[in-house]
Amino acid sequence: MIPQAVFRQITESFPALPNRMQRVGRYVLDHPADVALLTMREQARRAGVPPAAMTRFAQRLGFAGYDALRDLFAASMRGRVSDFGVRAGQLAARRAELGEATLAQSLTRALVERVALLAEPERLAALVEAAGQLARARHVFCVGHRSCYAPAFHFAYLAGLHGSPTRLLDAPGGVGFDGLNAAEAGDLLLAFSFTPYTRVTVEAAESARLLGLGVIAVTDSALSPLARQASRTIIVPADLTGATQVASPAFAAAELLAALVVARSGPEGQAVLERNEAEFDRRGVYWNEASRRAI
């Protein structure tokens, strides 16, 4: 998604850039989808610089203004479904430049920063409101594919242990979305997808919306095709320069939603969990030394 010529220009000139321009450069490399989709003023706000700094940065790279830089990112975004190959190349280049330990440290810090963004007031409010809807729903259908399968499964598993009426829309045999056939008013679909957006997830959200269900989208942009089907959207940062795919913030969002739903379940939820744990113990689901000696 990041044009390679721009990537080289920024990385090569970065050490000599003034502080504000370094902040712009770091933002451009870390949020390529935002560069393509958001207004310059919104990007400046998120980067923590005045809008004029965005313009000066683009001119420093040889562009007439920031719009010309945005247009290049937008064209790159339209021209490819997935930029995993580009990201892998960037990762290899950064490893050669920084060394493995420094690269790992840099990526770890970036992941922590992205998870921490979930604590912003606007995102927290969205999480709390979504959790309230999920806790009140008659049934919750969960869907996520490819890298988003894991957080969707994780929410369904954690919430289900405490009695939340969740159902994972898996797709063995191609019948995964048939579960929506029995959906009724008061049910919700919780859907996870990030660029490049999985077609079947977007189609599931569209089907749910047409059936009259509420759709809660956990995605990376208010402009994503999944968000356009949603009645409520939780924006989760999922971009990281040089990382082939970033799932940690999505996992964090799934765990936060599950925790908030469980917190609302009260004594009934605790009773369901205790019954589940008793059954797990009867079946020997978890390892212990006694079960090992009995083998």
pLDDT tens digits for range 13-48: 888 899 999 999 888 887 887 788 788 888 899 899
Q: Tokens in use for 212?
A: 């009259």
Residue 110 has pLDDT above 60, yes or no: yes
Q: What are 44-87's pLDDT values in tens digits?
A: 998 999 999 999 999 998 888 898 888 888 777 655 544 545 55
Percent of the chain with pLDDT over 90: 26
Quickly state the pLDDT bin for 205 (edges 50, 70, 90): very high
Q: What is the pLDDT of residue 6?
A: 82
Please tell me the distance from the alpha carbon of residue 93 to that of residue 6, in angstroms, as a whole number.
14
Q: How many CB atoms are closer than 10 A to CB 202? A: 22
Cβ atoms of 233 and 217 within 8 Å: the answer is: yes
Residue 255 has pLDDT above 90, yes or no: yes
Half-sphere exposure for 26 (CA within 13 Å, toward CB): 14
- Write down the residue that tokens 């001119």 correspond to: 59
The larger pLDDT score, comparing residue 87 to residue 148, is at 148
Mean pLDDT along residues 278-287: 84
Mean pLDDT along residues 251-255: 92
Most confidently modeled range among 86-100, 125-139, 255-269: 125-139
Mean predicted lDDT score pLDDT of the chain: 82
Q: What is the pTM of this model?
A: 0.65
Taking alpha carbons only, the member of 207, 209, 232 closest to residue 219 is 232
Cβ atoms of 218 and 230 within 8 Å: the answer is: no
Listed in order, strand segments (DSSP E) in the chain are 140-144, 166-168, 188-192, 214-219, 232-235
Bridge partners for 189 per DSSP = 141, 215
Of the ranges 139-153, 173-187, 219-233, 259-273, which one carries the lowest mean pLDDT score? 173-187
Q: What is the pLDDT of residue 295?
A: 45
Q: Tokens in use for 276?
A: 């589940």
Half-sphere exposure for 166 (CA within 13 Å, toward CB): 27
